[in-house]
């Protein structure tokens, strides 16, 4: 039985890694839209169309449940997809809600009214499109009140990570953190609102200081998915193969992914054979 993981590029592999560690027997089909990455600088209609195309391919691969392991797609496309595009027998889940549940210490499925929570000052680091959508603030407002969110668009960071330029990526992190701290000098928590960013979690932590609780999504999303599948075992699709699919050049993407995740990853072309 297979579950799909969608991302615009390689960042979703951080979610894949944690799901695989938590549920080693679960078949996973990963789809990276590397030919059109990064999504963070695209407009909402473009992101929606590309995300629907990728998720359709995962449905065709036997996945009835797809995780959008891409914050930009979750922010710009998920609600629109759920409201009018996703078939009744399929599910598409995003990565914002599990993160916000962890930040606000809510249990899965807690739909009670928003309330005061322990954290009051939150730094959000995300792509320009995710920041512009204000999707994180919207979802947070459904669960918590009195939380001040300062968002920092991290232009260039995904491109540097996809290119394997860690020196540039680390310099960009420090620059973006400095810019945010000028506006919010003492955040209590920081949200890494892009699945690429966990690769630099230690750099974010060092730049923010030891008193800031840094939240990244991989393990949080994996635990939420395991809980969801325990509640909805019928959403395990009919697929049985572990696959890595890409719209990019398979050999080039495989080489990038192997460097990115530090384990051998072999991608195939996303077209249906």
What values do phi and psi take at 5, rounded to 5? -125, 125
As a residue count, the chain comes to 273
- Cα distance between residue 81 and residue 86, in whole Å: 6
Write down the H helix ranges in 61-162: 71-76, 78-84, 96-103, 128-133, 135-141, 157-162
Q: Has 63 been annotated as catalytic? A: no
Question: Helix, strand or coil for residue 247?
Answer: coil
- Cα distance between residue 98 and residue 165, in whole Å: 30
- Cα distance between residue 222 and residue 225, in whole Å: 5
Question: Helix, strand or coil for residue 166?
Answer: helix
Asked if residues 249 and 131 have their Cβ atoms less than 8 Å apart, the reply is: no
Q: Has 194 been annotated as catalytic? A: yes
Catalytic residues: 70, 194
């Amino acid at each position: 039985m297979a579950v799909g993981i969608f991302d615009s590029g390689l960042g979703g592999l951080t979610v894949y890694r944690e799901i695989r560690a938590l549920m080693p027997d679960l078949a996973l089909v990963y789809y990276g839209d590397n030919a059109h990455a990064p999504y963070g600088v695209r407009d909402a209609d473009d992101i929606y169309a590309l995300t629907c195309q990728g998720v359709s391919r995962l449905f065709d691969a036997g996945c009835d449940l797809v995780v959008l392991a891409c914050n930009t797609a979750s922010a710009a496309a998920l609600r629109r997809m759920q409201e009018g595009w996703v078939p009744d027998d399929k599910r598409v889940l995003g990565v914002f809600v599990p993160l916000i549940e962890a930040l606000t210490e809510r249990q899965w499925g807690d739909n009670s009214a928003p309330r005061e929570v322990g954290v009051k000052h939150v730094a959000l680091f995300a792509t320009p499109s995710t920041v512009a959508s204000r999707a994180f603030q919207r979802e947070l407002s459904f669960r918590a009140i009195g939380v001040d969110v300062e968002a920092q668009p991290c232009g260039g960071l995904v491109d540097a990570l996809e290119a394997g330029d860690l020196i540039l990526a680390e310099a960009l992190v420090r620059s973006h953190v400095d810019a945010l701290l000028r506006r919010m000098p003492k955040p209590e928590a920081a949200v890494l609102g892009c699945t690429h960013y966990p690769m630099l979690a230690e750099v974010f932590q060092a730049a923010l200081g030891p008193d800031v609780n840094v939240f990244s999504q991989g393990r949080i999303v994996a635990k939420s998915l395991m809980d969801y599948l325990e509640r909805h075992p019928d959403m395990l699709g009919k697929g049985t193969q572990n696959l890595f699919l890409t719209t990019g050049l398979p050999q080039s993407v495989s080489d990038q992914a192997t460097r990115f995740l530090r384990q051998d990853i072999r991608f195939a072309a996303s077209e249906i054979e």
